[in-house]
Amino acid sequence: MVEPDIKPVLESSNPWWQPGSSFAPQPFEKQIVNEIISHLKSPFALILIGPRQSGKTTIFHQIIKDLLTQVKDPRSIVYAPLDRMKHASLTDIIKVHRELTAAEGKCYYFFDEVHYDPDWAVNLKTLIDTQTGDKYLATGSSSTLL
């Protein structure tokens, strides 16, 4: 079963789920962050592709910092580093998140290194088609994303 691998990674990767916790991403803000934030209202998923160590995760953390000032429930923001979850699919991650937090309403899912889910493209399309209201963002550094 995959779910036991997901729970501790989600808990440690989302410190803002805990009351009174602080979250401080790197102070240098990438210029593209504001452009991405402006696209969060669109119905489409957003996928950032680039080489390793190019700042994709930093961009995610800066977007999350901004969202934390806008959402009612910080548990509605989910950062999921798939490279730290063995054999986890996007749908597995969402299921565990919902069980852990009982978050209601619109959620923002940040799937980092999405290509670790071998069926990520099909899973993401299914989520977009069936999960009305949620927002999906993903990063990848593998050429398999192209």
When divided into structural domains, the chain yields a total of 1
Within a domain: 74: yes
Within a domain: 4: no
Within a domain: 2: no
Asked if residue 102 lies in contact with residue 69, where contact means CB atoms within 8 angstroms, the answer is no
Expressed as residue numbers, the domain containing 105 is: 46-145
Within a domain: 34: no
Going residue by residue through the chain (146 aa), what tens digit of pLDDT does each one get? Answer: 456 689 999 999 999 998 887 776 666 677 788 888 888 888 888 998 887 878 888 899 999 998 998 998 999 999 999 999 978 999 999 999 999 998 878 999 999 999 999 999 999 999 998 867 899 999 998 665 55
Within a domain: 130: yes
Within a domain: 97: yes
Within a domain: 67: yes
Rounded Cα–Cα distance for residues 89 and 104 (Å): 21
Rounded Cα–Cα distance for residues 94 and 82 (Å): 12
Within a domain: 37: no
Predicted confidence at residue 94, as pLDDT, reads: 93
pTM: 0.89
Q: What is the DSSP letter of 113?
A: T
Sheet with 108-112: list strands edge to edge: 46-49, 135-140, 108-112, 77-81
In a 3-state reduction of DSSP, which class is residue 18? Answer: coil
The CATH number that applies at residue 53 is 3.40.50.300
In a 3-state reduction of DSSP, which class is residue 54? Answer: coil
